[in-house]
Copies of this chain bind each other. A is one copy, B any other.
């Protein structure tokens, strides 16, 4: 292929991408590329083969062939150009508001595609911390016998307390929920809420209970030091419910294993 043809091919690619951006299509490019970013930090990603995705809202993602998170990215509302400079093909992105800049040097474009995607749907999720808090609020005895609900979340004016109760002795109890194994941070958070509540209500004693399926050894020690207690509470087991009602999930026979 002559250099002229190569240039024409580049120019045609650039024209197609510019049109796709104009039409607010979602773009996918598979390419051998090098990525440079400057903004909140500064990064360099040496040459390799990646998938580049540009969304209609201006989001740009660079994905390596492994891992969940993009290796480089630009947030929504970024602007993008496909340009040739010194015979090199670039994607140049910037976010004026955030003062962020990203350049992708495209050494070789293996494939590309663009299409308008129509999707206004939102994810319906159950089984989060809020659901766990609701479960406890509906039946505080799960955590401790004799607890009576005072309020939940913003219903109280004391900040982001998951569940607030009175215990059998009439003491105020702050319950902090964690869906997974509780750590230092969870205990610190509980401590903060308890102290805030003591200060605001002028109480000498406010109890704290950490409700989670498990707790790290060190966090348990810290919890004990502060005079708080731990309650084993399993997050709602949606997994089992779904697997029961919907047999199609799981139970594979012929798998292509990715070990």
Contacts and interface: CB of A to CB of B under 8 A. Distances in A.
A51 B68 contact: no
Contacts of A84: none
16 contacts: A22-B256, A26-B65, A36-B246, A36-B249, A38-B238, A48-B117, A50-B117, A55-B67, A56-B258, A58-B258, A68-B75, A79-B256, A90-B248, A101-B249, A103-B249, A185-B188
Chain A contact residues: over half helix, strand or loop, or mixed? Answer: mixed
Given A99-B239, A252-B81, A113 B30 contact: yes
Q: How large is the interface on A (under 10, 10 to 19, 20 to 34, 35 or more residues)?
A: 35 or more
What is the oligomeric copy number? Answer: 2
A110 to B, nearest CB: 6
Contacts of A28: 28, 30, 51, 113
A248 B257 CA distance: 44
Contact of A48 (B70, B90, B118): B118
A254 B231 CA distance: 60
